[in-house]
Amino acid sequence: MHLRVRGPDRAVRGPIGVREGTGRSAPAPGPPPASPDVPGGPAPLASRARGQVHADLLTAPEHTGAFRSRSSRARAPGGSAARAVRDLAVQWRRLMSPPFVELRRVSKVYREGDSERVVLHEVDVAIERGEIAVVLGRSGSGKSTLLNLLAGIDLPTAGAVLVDGIDVARLGERERTLLRRRRVGFVFQFFNLIPLLTVAENLLLPLELTAQADARGRARAQALLERVGLADRGDSFPDRLSGGEQQRVAIARALVHDPALVLADEPTGNLDADSARSVLDLLDGLARELGTTVVMVTHSREVVGLADRVFLAQHGRLVEQPR
């Protein structure tokens, strides 16, 4: 099934490609490409979606590095010797490269009138590139606050939030928006697909926002749509899809621009058990295949099985749980 796209280009097919010149084995630092929403910029879909929820949270690529996590290594083909070699490689990489996501003595205090609410208190966390980290915790324990800090949507009261070595709090608002668009993908509890756009158009939006919706980008979007089992629903509007299907589209959208980091806030919170499982398997499989770092917030302990790292948000701290 081919993806119908607007504009002069014809439908395209292709694998979930990594962009040329950005092999994941070596970092590719350098200035980000020109923003699509500065002069020269916004594409039609972006314009149509402007003002819609979270449009500015959608991002694009440029990360590298294929750290393979515990679970993927466990599943990888090959005998125990091959696995041992891979484990050594991972340990070596951990020693040689800085963590991909790091919180250094991060505190977040909300002030309301005269009262203060300490949500996070001197939190230290380091997550390696390619790891899937799950954050559990009671309602109000600061899980979403943590994701907002990682996304640069909110700023810490004290401490440093580093994403790929960049101190997010030191960036201006505009730079933080661009960082999100290019390097972060989001999955939300309520999917947040844009109702006025078709499934295919929703999927292309992160690419449009960063001027990546060329033939290569569309091929990647189409490949992802196939991977999430919805290749024949590209022309449907989101309200014609079930909750699980919408969340599968949301996962494809979170990954379409090849972000370095995916932040997922209760991605299965609105799904029945079967849909939740298929959505999680999909996110897990795709993130590992693409080497994407994932930080996922959930109330569900079922998710723990697929995580490399598990943290419990409690009393302002993030306490790592034994695996």
Ligand X SMILES: Nc1ncnc2c1ncn2[C@@H]1O[C@H](COP(=O)(O)OP(=O)(O)OP(=O)(O)O)[C@@H](O)[C@H]1O
Q: Which parts of this chain interact with Mg ion (CB under 5 A)?
A: 144
* Binding string, residues 217-256; x marks residues near ligand X by CB under 6 A: ----------------------------------------
Q: Which two tokens stand for residue 304?
A: 């723990």
- 286 DSSP 8-state letter: H
Give CA–CA dist 218/56, Å, rounded: 20
112 binds, among ligand X, Mg ion, none (CB under 5 to 8 A by kind): ligand X
Tell me if 295 sits within 8 A of 125, measured CB to CB.
no
Surface-to-core class of residue 18, CB atoms within 10 Å of its CB (0-12 exposed, 13-18 middle, 19+ buried): middle
Among 59, 72, 145, 177, binds ligand X (CB under 6 A): 145
> Considering the complex, what minimum distance in angstroms separates the CB of residue 297 from ligand X?
7
Give CA–CA dist 240/244, Å, rounded: 12
Give CA–CA dist 121/111, Å, rounded: 14
Sorted by sequence, the CB contacts under 8 Å of residue 241 that are 6+ apart come out as 199, 230, 233, 249
Among 14, 17, 23, 140, binds ligand X (CB under 6 A): 140
Among 10, 117, 170, 174, binds ligand X (CB under 6 A): 117
Among 20, 112, 173, 274, binds ligand X (CB under 6 A): 112
Cβ-closest position to Mg ion: 144
> Considering the complex, what minimum distance in angstroms separates the CB of residue 137 from ligand X?
5
Regarding 92 and contact with ligand X (CB under 6 A), the answer is no
* 3 state SS of 19: coil
> Considering the complex, what minimum distance in angstroms separates the CB of residue 275 from ligand X?
20
- Point out which residues bind ligand X (CB under 6 A): 110, 112, 117, 119, 137, 139-145
